[in-house]
């Protein structure tokens, strides 16, 4: 009987041990793995994400008013960067002008006849214009003659019409005009030089300040035919003091560029021109050049120098 009881106890013990082992195995299978803890700590799901299909947008009626976008979502247009001002090339008229604080000079052919430089350092020797234009000195006739006429003022034919227009415009302002001296030949300038020197007690044509009051033959602009002395009447001797404030001189200095002329020997520029101030002496260079020269208070020497 005792043996039977021991057998029963062994069987029950084995059954309890098997039940305990099965419980441990089941608990181990249900417990989370180490990787599962990592997913939980990083907030990542351990299962595949659920993909949902978005509902189609409701159809907008054709005649519906457009919906304005919120300013907050509009992209600002990028700013357009302006290109820098071009730098003038060195050794060009524009660069030389800029170095002197002057605006860009006009695009002209400095070798053209209008820019013939005649002064004490630039002689034209025996030069004479190929064709002359003859204008009535008091502008009583509005024509340009091409045949020699000793009663008219001769100039280079190429400036005759511009000079006539200049004089007519002055007279239309109620001013008297007298074309005192246009072209002078080489021989005439020899006589003029000797006469003025004798009258002023000099031999080199210069005054006490060292400026020319008359030019040697070959060095006078009058020989080029591109200039004219313009006064309100005939003067035996012209002086700056007598003519600087003359109404005609003032008007012509203000408007000469409109007809292509410049005041050739301005006051304050004697060290450059080497000629005394002559408020009556006007030189043709063309409208573009004249406008630039007069607007910037230049001499012909300074203007030509920009293109050298």
278 is catalytic: yes
Q: Are the CB atoms for 140 and 177 separated by under 8 Å?
A: no
**220-229 residues labelled b (16+ CB within 10 A) or e (exposed):** bbbbbbbbbb
Residues 6+ apart with CB under 8 A from 253: 263, 279
Q: How far apart are CA 211 and CA 110, in angstroms?
A: 27
Q: Which one of 74, 81, 278, 302 is the catalytic residue?
A: 278
Three-class DSSP category at 267: coil
- Strands 132-135, 153-156: pairing kind: antiparallel
Q: What whole-number distance in Å separates Cα of residue 136 and Cα of residue 88? A: 46
- Active site residue ranges: 278
């Amino acid at each position: 009987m005792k043996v039977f009881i021991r057998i029963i106890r062994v069987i029950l013990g084995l059954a309890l041990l098997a039940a305990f082992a099965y419980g441990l195995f089941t608990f181990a299978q249900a417990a989370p793995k180490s990787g599962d803890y990592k997913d939980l700590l990083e907030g990542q799901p351990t299962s595949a994400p659920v993909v949902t299909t978005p509902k189609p947008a409701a159809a907008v009626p054709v005649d519906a008013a457009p919906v304005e976008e919120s300013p907050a979502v509009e992209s600002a247009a990028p700013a357009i960067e302006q290109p820098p001002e071009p730098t003038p090339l060195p050794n060009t008229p524009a660069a030389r002008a800029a170095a002197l604080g002057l605006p860009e000079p006009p695009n002209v052919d400095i070798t053209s006849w209008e820019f013939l430089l005649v002064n004490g350092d630039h002689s034209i020797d025996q030069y004479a214009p190929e064709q002359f234009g003859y204008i009535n000195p008091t502008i009583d006739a509005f024509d340009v003659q091409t045949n020699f006429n000793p009663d008219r003022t001769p100039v280079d034919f190429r400036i005759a019409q511009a000079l006539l227009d200049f004089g007519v415009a002055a007279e239309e302002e109620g001013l008297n005009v007298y074309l005192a001296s246009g072209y002078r030949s080489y021989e005439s300038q020899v006589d003029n030089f000797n006469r003025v020197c004798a009258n002023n007690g000099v031999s080199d044509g210069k005054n006490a300040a060292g400026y020319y009051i008359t030019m040697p033959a070959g060095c006078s602009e009058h020989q080029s035919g591109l200039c004219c002395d313009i006064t309100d009447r005939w003067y035996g001797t012209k002086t700056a003091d007598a003519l600087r404030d003359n109404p005609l001189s003032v008007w012509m200095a203000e408007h000469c560029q409109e007809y292509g002329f410049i005041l050739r020997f301005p006051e304050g520029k004697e060290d450059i021109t080497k000629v005394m101030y002559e408020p009556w002496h006007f030189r043709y260079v063309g409208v573009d050049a004249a406008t630039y020269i007069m607007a910037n208070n230049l001499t012909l020497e300074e203007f030509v120098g920009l293109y050298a």
